[in-house]
Structure 1
Amino acid sequence: MNPDMNAVFSKISEELSRRHDLVLVTITSKSGSSPRGAGAQMLVGQSGRICGTIGGGAAEHRAEETAQMLLQKRSSAEYRFPLHEQSEHDLGMVCGGEISVFFQYIDSSAGEWAQLVSRVLSMLSAHQPGCLVLHLDGSIPVLLDGEMNCTRTKEAFYMPLPVLDRAVIFGGGHCTQALVPVLSRVGFRITVMDNRPELSRPELFSEAEHVVCGDYFRIGDFLDLTPSDYVVVMTNGHSHDFDVLRQILQTPPAYVGVIGSRRKTAFVNQKLLECGIEREVISRVHAPIGTAIKAVTPEEIAVSIAGEMIYERALLREAAGAAALHDCPMH
């Protein structure tokens, strides 16, 4: 799965409207360690890389050159790139693995491409499960409905569309205003809820999908939470944090993080125990929230929270059987 697919296909749409031919570069398989896994994509035009990445470094540079060569030939192809030393085609990388990369030529004069890209973007916008099938003979891909695993056969590469995880943030203060753009850029779709009209204005959160003004005591009247949601609690007080947690922990979401001191956490946790929330459920709440980087400013706190959420998301995906998106640059 490629979390950057929306950006890549938005740029394809833009370039097609300008009648620019392109090459879509996709990792179709890997062995050993590599910066990015199957499904990572990069878009290349006449002047070089336009957007996306297949891992950076020498392999990406070689792939960019290959894409430009195929663009001149108006053809598609698949190549392997070793990422280890002392190979016949040594790229000077020491990850120790190898990637297979498919180069899909995109002819801007073919109307089928515009139709395909429009449908991909529509499904991504609707968070609708689907699968892009890249034919390794270079013919125009097809888009299938429904959920499928990332798979490569002799004839095709099956690439599921990313259905972005939803982050629901309670509280619209300074930290949330710093956090929303960060989460948006790392592949979360975002809902913000606050009980104060002045802090639940959509213009404060341009990257959020929904902004809601509502009563924390009656969350269900305003939001439908699901077990796959990532919840961040940053309200304006202990009692509001307790009201939110008391409700969402009845059916715990995938992730819950609460901002605040350890003293505040102990106070809220005790109240949760007293109202019947099981200790084991409470223990899974990330409080205080975030990666321990001694964050102080709202921007630093946003980075800390986003880092923890990225990590927890990766653990959940791996536990569900998804292939790791990377295993070289960061542990």
Structure 2
Amino acid sequence: MREILPALERWYAARVPFGLATVVAVGGSAPRGPGAAMAVGPDGEVVGSVSGGCVEGAVFELAREVAASGEARLESFGYSDEDAFTVGLTCGGEITLLVRPVTPATDPAFGAVAGSVGAGEPVTVATVVAGPAPRGATLAVWPDTAADAPGTLGTDGLDVAVAADARGELALGATVLRHYGPHGERREDDVTVFLQSFAPPPRMLVFGAIDYAAAVARIGDFLGYRVTVCDARPVFATPRRFPAAVEVVVDWPHRYLRGVGTDERTVICVLTHDPRFDVPLLEEALRRPAAYIGAMGSRRTHDERRDRLAEAGLTEAELSRLRSPLGLDLGARTPEEVAVSVAAEIVALRWHGSGVPLTATTGAIHAPAAR
């Protein structure tokens, strides 16, 4: 929803109803994952996508009907030989959409949620998908909000149980379906609730203000990371050289890293390939949470660096987290090609991809996301 937020905020502020379609479940090689959204506003204006174009025409009509009727609907789309290019998914997957009307009356917390998402503040939106609770009812949950968060799913017990689960999923940045009884008890056959987490963008920390770093920063920004570039040399570490970075820091890399927080989504790219910088930096990085820690350098540089890190006391388990030389084997030469190689490794590690050509694999293209 982040990419379509400006239009949604404009419609909401004008108090005009719009239909919001959200992917709540997928099967097979579905083109978009849970949380992908498309909205249809006044005068038929469309923003977003739920399938990359396969079923958008049908969803457009559905969203307009929902906005006019004020009643949420749940619809599934799968492959159809007969109608594959009209209302079916040509990829052979299946998506389930919740399409709901949004107005200040039906969703009083939407404005506050949009403000938090736009500001990069964490928030989860819980929405009833199916069951005896009102379909399309929402509950907004922030990390520090009490049980009386804006909105309701129908009963106090359900609100309390869902809010507790929503905070847990928000801490993981996860978007999932959960099942409850009408008063919040754990049951698989009653109320289905979609928990969509809007966690702050993950961080990418790029160390070493070189031309490769500029390319990595650009592709990191493209992938949705909040990019920071750090180098101890002020003549190289300038915002003008790294326009894709949110911030450019002049500091010794290990000292800067020691003073910032990282989590299980953080990406750390060490491009200094100078032992004065990268050994103390990696000593710090490999002892803290991160999704990816990669370092540039030749295989000889890697072996020497690994020996130095072992001498510094890092364990084999800690050293095994280091991706070095960083990137997938694409035959990359230019800074831009190397950046693609690094990004490919980050994506493959995130989604447990093999890194081999899809022509050499079988089965579903999009494997289920690991929790």
Normalised by the length of structure 2, the TM-score is 0.71
Instruction: Output the CA distance in 1 between the equivalents of 2:25 and 2:246.
Output: 33
Indicate which of 329, 335, 353 corresponds to 1:292: 329
Instruction: Output the CA distance in 2 between the equivalents of 1:58 and 1:35.
Output: 9
In structure 2, the residue matched to 1:147 is 168
Instruction: Output the CA distance in 2 between the equivalents of 1:329 and 1:251.
Output: 30
Instruction: Output the CA distance in 2 between the equivalents of 1:75 and 1:207.
Output: 42
Indicate which of 347, 357, 360 corresponds to 1:310: 347
Instruction: Output the CA distance in 2 between the equivalents of 1:155 and 1:92.
Output: 25
One-letter amino acid of the counterpart of residue 126, structure 2: V
Instruction: Output the CA distance in 2 between the equivalents of 1:288 and 1:135.
Output: 47
Task: After superposing the two structures, state which structure 1 stretch, 25-34 or 86-95, moved more.
Answer: 86-95
Query: Are residues 177 and 88 of structure 1, via their aligned partners in 2, closer, same or farther at CA, if it must alter by over 3 Å?
Result: closer
In structure 1, the residue matched to 2:54 is 58
Question: Does residue 1:117 correspond to 2:114, yes or no?
Answer: no
The question of whether the paired residues in 2 share the 8 Å contact of 1:83 and 1:95 is answered with yes
**Gaps (5+ residues) in structure 2?**
143-166, 170-174, 180-190, 354-363
Question: Does residue 1:246 correspond to 2:246, yes or no?
Answer: no
Identity of aligned residues (%): 25
Instruction: Output the CA distance in 1 between the equivalents of 2:265 and 2:97.
Output: 32
Instruction: Output the CA distance in 2 between the equivalents of 1:44 and 1:296.
Output: 44
One-letter amino acid of the counterpart of residue 121, structure 1: G
* CA RMSD, Structure 1 to Structure 2 (Å): 3.4
One-letter amino acid of the counterpart of residue 46, structure 2: R
Instruction: Output the CA distance in 2 between the equivalents of 1:227 and 1:162.
Output: 12
Aligned length: 313
Return the structure number with greater relative CO, CA threshold 8 A, min gap 6: 1
The question of whether the paired residues in 1 share the 8 Å contact of 2:202 and 2:224 is answered with yes
Instruction: Output the CA distance in 2 between the equivalents of 1:78 and 1:92.
Output: 16
Task: After superposing the two structures, state which structure 1 stretch, 210-219 or 198-207, moved more.
Answer: 198-207
The question of whether the paired residues in 2 share the 8 Å contact of 1:83 and 1:93 is answered with yes
Instruction: Output the CA distance in 2 between the equivalents of 1:16 and 1:143.
Output: 16
Q: CA deviation at 1:26?
A: 0.4
One-letter amino acid of the counterpart of residue 341, structure 2: S
The question of whether the paired residues in 1 share the 8 Å contact of 2:237 and 2:250 is answered with yes
One-letter amino acid of the counterpart of residue 313, structure 1: R
Instruction: Output the CA distance in 2 between the equivalents of 1:88 and 1:281.
Output: 49
One-letter amino acid of the counterpart of residue 133, structure 1: A
The question of whether the paired residues in 1 share the 8 Å contact of 2:258 and 2:284 is answered with no
Normalised by the length of structure 1, the TM-score is 0.78
Instruction: Output the CA distance in 2 between the equivalents of 1:282 and 1:170.
Output: 19
Q: Deviations over 1:207-234 (max 9, x none)?
A: 4344321123534554344455221101
In structure 1, the residue matched to 2:251 is 214
In structure 2, the residue matched to 1:49 is 46
Query: Are residues 75 and 7 of structure 1, via their aligned partners in 2, closer, same or farther at CA, if it must alter by over 3 Å?
Result: same
In structure 2, the residue matched to 1:324 is none
